[in-house]
Amino acid sequence: MKKWLLLVLVFGATSAYGGVRADLRQGGKLYKDQKYGQALQKYAEALQKDPQNESASFGAGAASYYLKDYAAAEQAFEQTAEQEGKLAQDALFNLGNAYYRGGDAQKAIAAYRQALVKNPQDLEAIHNLQLILQQQQDQQNQNDQNQQNQDDASPNQSQQDQNNQGQQDQDQQQQQNPSNPQDAMNKNDADRVMQMARENERKKPTQAGAAQDSNVEKDW
């Protein structure tokens, strides 16, 4: 997170409600001690007394961020940025962080860009923006490479299928048209076997009670 020391500077800010200043002071101390839940409670109390207090909303966003409640952090930083006060630019930067941690890279990019409009020299915003854009480019390159690999694999598979089909056709053709004497002999043997099978078909045993035929073999 960025520039949380600014919170210390706002403790002496004047307010129409005397209690707001005390809440901010206590919230800042608790935040510094990393007691983010208690700090958030103090900032919330300050916001109840002064809903437009940018220091309170900024502190609430910071505490929520470290509690990993990124949705609450987004809401608080958005509120701070809308005030267009002295914390607006920092709020936009941290809003980008919250969006990114919450899984919305596109909103994070928009927030960082808004922060850079207000301060083009913000090196942290530049760094984070470049980081996200590079991640997106790397992901796109990876997706393109995966798609290319799939496209390259498809013709190979088709060629393999064609080769398999060609081999099957060749085997079938060899069976129908033997190309060497051994194949021819095998085919002749097969023809003789088929002829014998047809002859035996006529020599099946008679059923019980049927007239005996001299050509009929004994039962088997």
Cβ neighbours of 17 (radius 10 Å): 13
The CATH number fitting domain 6-134, selected from 1.20.1510.10, 3.40.50.620, 1.25.40.10, 3.40.1440.60: 1.25.40.10
Confidence bin at 149 (pLDDT 50/70/90):
confident
Cα of 14 vs its chain's centroid, Å: 49
Structure tokens at 218: 């004994």
* Contact predicate 59/27, CB 8 Å: yes
pTM: 0.62
* Residue 153 confidence (pLDDT): 75
Measure the CA–CA gap between 32 and 172, rounded to whole angstroms: 84
pLDDT, average across residues 173-201: 46
CA atoms within 13 A on the CB side of 94: 31
Measure the CA–CA gap between 44 and 53, rounded to whole angstroms: 11
Sign of CA dihedral 64, 65, 68, 70: positive
pLDDT, average across residues 198-216: 34
